Amino acid sequence: MTSIGFLGLGTMGRGMIANLVTAGHDVTVWNRTPGRAEDLTGVRVATTIADAVQGREVVMICLSDDAAVRQVVLGADGVASAADPGTVVIDLSTISPDLSDEEAAAFATAGVPFLDAPVFGSKGEAASGGLWVVVGGPAETLERVRPVLDVVSETVHHMGPNGSGARMKLVGNLLVAAQLHALGESLALARSAGLDLSRVLEVLAVTDFRSPIFDGVGPMVLDGDYSTSFALRLMLKDARLIQEFAAQVGAPVPGVDLAEGTIAAAVDRGYGEENASALIKVIAERAGVDLST
Ligand SMILES: NC(=O)c1ccc[n+]([C@@H]2O[C@H](COP(=O)([O-])OP(=O)(O)OC[C@H]3O[C@@H](n4cnc5c(N)ncnc54)[C@H](OP(=O)(O)O)[C@@H]3O)[C@@H](O)[C@H]2O)c1
């Protein structure tokens, strides 16, 4: 049993926490909005970041964005100043590589082992313990916490030194954005051409261009179901992180630029709290079609 402090009780954190508790770990949680801890079972609830962090063997962080991590990790009384040198801190949030590097530097100064470890997968994979984790940091630090990461994930990938996980996460999310945008375009084209969208999805599910994203999102689009696993507002954040990161390393990402524009338009229309797939509603609106069957 490992004593774990977990900060961030959002969609992803809640699923991971449930699996850590089920696996027998001693979990103490903290959240900015304390009420979100009320329906969690088997955890202790800390009222301050320091209470959640001090004396734990492992601290896991899963917050929405750079602003949240800057406040909770690097702010006064944040994790970087509260954590003991005996604790391994793991940041699972999707944030900018620059901020991830700042975190790594702050923890190095404090003598606290640190991993950036963003996750692929969504609400379902968090709930089932089937995430895919991309880790940056020293191999020996990863080995210390591998049993804990194994509880929440299907696979763990050591990408290299600190910051490599944060960078890999943006490389992967480029493909998530591209696939959702392409799915929207292909469904709108198929509908405009008079094809039966159920038959279209049947083909997408078996061909050499099939994708679990198409399998998951396609039927939901036909049902008009945009219930949230991965909020569109977070996908806009990620698209902009990819653009910034790509500009820094000098790699043009015209597909991401296009997707960012569509996502921003969807957020402007008020779809930000809906699932990331709600960007498809804008593509359909522009094509003048209704994709629901
Ligand atoms: N959902 C997915 O499918 C998915 C998949 C892979 C990766 N991710 C990434 O994982 C992270 C968490 O995603 P999620 O879907 O769990 O997000 P979420 O449901 O929106 O939860 C966000 C969490 O961050 C906290 N937070 C936001 N701003 C804060 C601030 N300024 N100070 C302190 N806490 C703050 C929220 O606290 P409150 O409760 O107080 O608002 C909440 O605990 C994000 O970086 C996301 O991009 C998500």
Residue nearest (by alpha carbon) to ligand 1 atom 10 = 93
pLDDT digits (tens, 9 = 90+) for 23-58: 999 999 999 999 999 999 999 999 999 999 999 999
Residues 4 and 27 sit within 8 Å (Cβ to Cβ): yes
Nearest atom (ligand 1) to Cα of 7: 43
Q: Is 69 in the pocket of ligand 1 (CB under 6 A)?
A: no
For domain 3-160, the CATH superfamily is NAD(P)-binding Rossmann-like Domain (3.40.50.720)
Q: Is 245 in the pocket of ligand 1 (CB under 6 A)?
A: no
Widest pairwise Cα distance in the chain: 63
Work out the number of other CB atoms within 10 angstroms of the CB of residue 66.
18
Nearest atom (ligand 1) to Cα of 9: 43
Residue 269's pLDDT band (cuts 50, 70, 90): very high
Task: Determine the Cα angle at 267 with ends 262 and 273, to 5°.
Answer: 130
Give dist(CA 174, CA 253) in Å, integer: 9
Rg (CA), the chain: 20
Which CATH fold would you assign to the domain 168-287? N-(1-d-carboxylethyl)-l-norvaline Dehydrogenase; domain 2 (1.10.1040)
Q: Is 109 in the pocket of ligand 1 (CB under 6 A)?
A: no
Q: How far is CA 284 from CA 178, 182, 183, 228, in A?
A: 16, 12, 11, 19
On average, the pLDDT of the chain sits at 97
Query: CB under 8 Å, gap of 24 or more: what pairs does 154-157 form?
Result: 154/121, 154/125, 154/129, 154/130, 157/132, 157/133
- Whether the pLDDT of residue 293 is over 80: the answer is no
Q: What is the pLDDT of residue 228?
A: 97
Q: What is the pLDDT of residue 154?
A: 98
Going by C-beta distance under 8 Å and a sequence separation of 6 or more, which residues neighbour residue 186? Answer: 200, 204
How far does the centroid of ligand 1 lie from the alpha carbon of residue 10, in Å? 5
Active site residue 123: no
Q: Is 234 in the pocket of ligand 1 (CB under 6 A)?
A: yes
pLDDT digits (tens, 9 = 90+) for 144-201: 999 999 999 999 999 999 999 999 999 999 999 999 999 999 999 999 999 999 999 9
Q: Hunting for tokens 């338009």 — which residue is that?
A: 265
Q: Is 13 in the pocket of ligand 1 (CB under 6 A)?
A: yes
When pLDDT is averaged across residues 75-104 and rounded to a whole number, the result is 97
How far does the centroid of ligand 1 lie from the alpha carbon of residue 276, in Å? 14
Tell me the sheet residues that pair with 151. Answer: none
How far does the centroid of ligand 1 lie from the alpha carbon of residue 194, in Å? 40
Give dist(CA 82, CA 53) in Å, integer: 7
Nearest atom (ligand 1) to Cα of 12: 16
pLDDT digits (tens, 9 = 90+) for 97-134: 999 999 999 999 999 999 999 999 999 999 999 999 99
pLDDT digits (tens, 9 = 90+) for 225-245: 999 999 999 999 999 999 999
When pLDDT is averaged across residues 73-88 and rounded to a whole number, the result is 96
Q: What is the pLDDT of residue 160?
A: 98
- Residue by residue, DSSP assigns 29-74 as EE-SSGGGGTT--S-EE-SSHHHHHTT-SEEEE--SSHHHHHHHTT
Top mutation candidate among 154, 234, 240 for ligand 1, by most atoms within 8 Å of CB:
234
Domain ranges for the chain, please list them: 3-160, 168-287
Residue nearest (by alpha carbon) to ligand 1 atom 21 = 10
Q: What is the pLDDT of residue 291?
A: 98
Q: What is the pLDDT of residue 155?
A: 98
Q: What is the pLDDT of residue 32?
A: 97
Q: Is 122 in the pocket of ligand 1 (CB under 6 A)?
A: yes
Residues 184 and 279 sit within 8 Å (Cβ to Cβ): yes
pTM score: 0.97
Q: What is the pLDDT of residue 47?
A: 95
